[in-house]
Chains A and B, each alone.
Chain A
Amino acid sequence: MIEWFTWAQVAVAVLAGLFCLAYGLAGRVPNDYSLGATLLVELLLIAQLVVAIVAPLAGNPPSGSLPEFYIYLISALLLPPLAGFWALIERNRWSTVILGVACLAIAVMVYRMYQIWAFQVA
């Protein structure tokens, strides 16, 4: 993992999460903004997956357990599509709130992934 990229990703996920949460609680149905924010979070996760594959080969191996890291990463990758499909099927404010909840959960998971990569002793 690349430290600055990870923190940027956590920041984006928190902002996207708070945005969708506020937007949903304000009564807005999922739209291009809330779904776009969630999509951005997903794209950063895909970038993180590429980084995670390349980094050990480029002399940046994880200190902790790589399988545990990938369980978090794959779980996180699943959340935006699931929340996104939900938002497309059910067009009400709570779907927007759920997009926000998913983004905030991803922020926590990425932070946890960083703990595993940088601090956990395998």
Chain B
Amino acid sequence: MATTTSSRAVGVGRVLVAVYGILALAATGRSVFQIIDRFGEAPIAFTLSALSAVVYIVATVALLLPGCTWYRVAWFTIGFELVGVLVVGTMSVVAPSVLGLHSVNPFGRDATVWSGYGLGYLLVPLALPVLGMLWLYRRRPTVLPEAA
């Protein structure tokens, strides 16, 4: 049984990893600043923001590293992001007060990477998990011998 052990980040997958990396950087920078500067204003939203930042970092690493374990980690983190952007995105639009948000403005001072389905990031946070899952599905590890 020969499993593919190469990195999943080949070809266009490299671009996916790069975009994930940039989003991880953006989400980390923003959440760290918000937590230091104004954590008390919207603790739930900012905690979710920090959590999303960590998940983006893990997803970036998981896409880069080879092996079945990282493949599962990639599925888990990317799935988590899709659920996150859908749930938090919906709540930020329908019931912002539940998250402790003061406005529905995705560019506002308490907006996070998932607010308004990631509108503040040109909807990249919504599109990326879908593209990521399509990519993972195409690059799934096979148990069949594969031409090198």
Q: Kindly list chain B residues whose C-beta atoms are within 8 Å of the C-beta of A95.
A: 14
Identity of the chain B residue whose Cβ is nearest the Cβ of A74 in the assembled complex: B29
Indicate if A40 sits at the interface (CB-CB under 8 A). no
Indicate if B15 sits at the interface (CB-CB under 8 A). yes
Binds A, one of B18-26, B49-57, B78-86, B135-143: B18-26
Q: Kindly list chain A residues whose C-beta atoms are within 8 Å of the C-beta of B32.
A: 71
Identify whether the interface residues of A are mostly helix, strand, loop, or mixed.
helix
Binds B, one of A4-12, A30-38, A47-55, A98-106: A98-106
CA distance A79 to B25 in the complex (A): 10
Identity of the chain A residue whose Cβ is nearest the Cβ of B14 in the assembled complex: A94
Query: Which residues of chain A have a CB within 8 Å of any CB of chain B?
Result: 65, 67-68, 71-72, 75, 78-79, 82-83, 86, 90, 92, 94-95, 97-98, 101-102, 105, 108-109, 115, 120
CA distance A18 to B101 in the complex (A): 36
Indicate if B122 sits at the interface (CB-CB under 8 A). yes
**CB distance A90 to B26 under 8 Å?**
no
**CB distance B107 to A94 under 8 Å?**
no
**CB distance A65 to B37 under 8 Å?**
yes
**CB distance B12 to A94 under 8 Å?**
yes
**Contacts A68-B37, A97-B12 given; 5 further ones with Cβ under 8 A?**
A65-B33, A67-B33, A71-B30, A78-B25, A86-B18
**CB distance B15 to A68 under 8 Å?**
no
Closest-CB distance, A81 to chain B (whole angstroms): 13
Chain A to chain B contacts (Cβ below 8 Å), 24 pairs: A65-B33, A65-B37, A67-B36, A67-B37, A68-B33, A68-B37, A71-B29, A78-B25, A82-B21, A90-B14, A94-B11, A94-B14, A94-B15, A95-B14, A97-B12, A98-B14, A98-B15, A98-B18, A101-B15, A101-B18, A102-B22, A108-B122, A109-B26, A115-B107
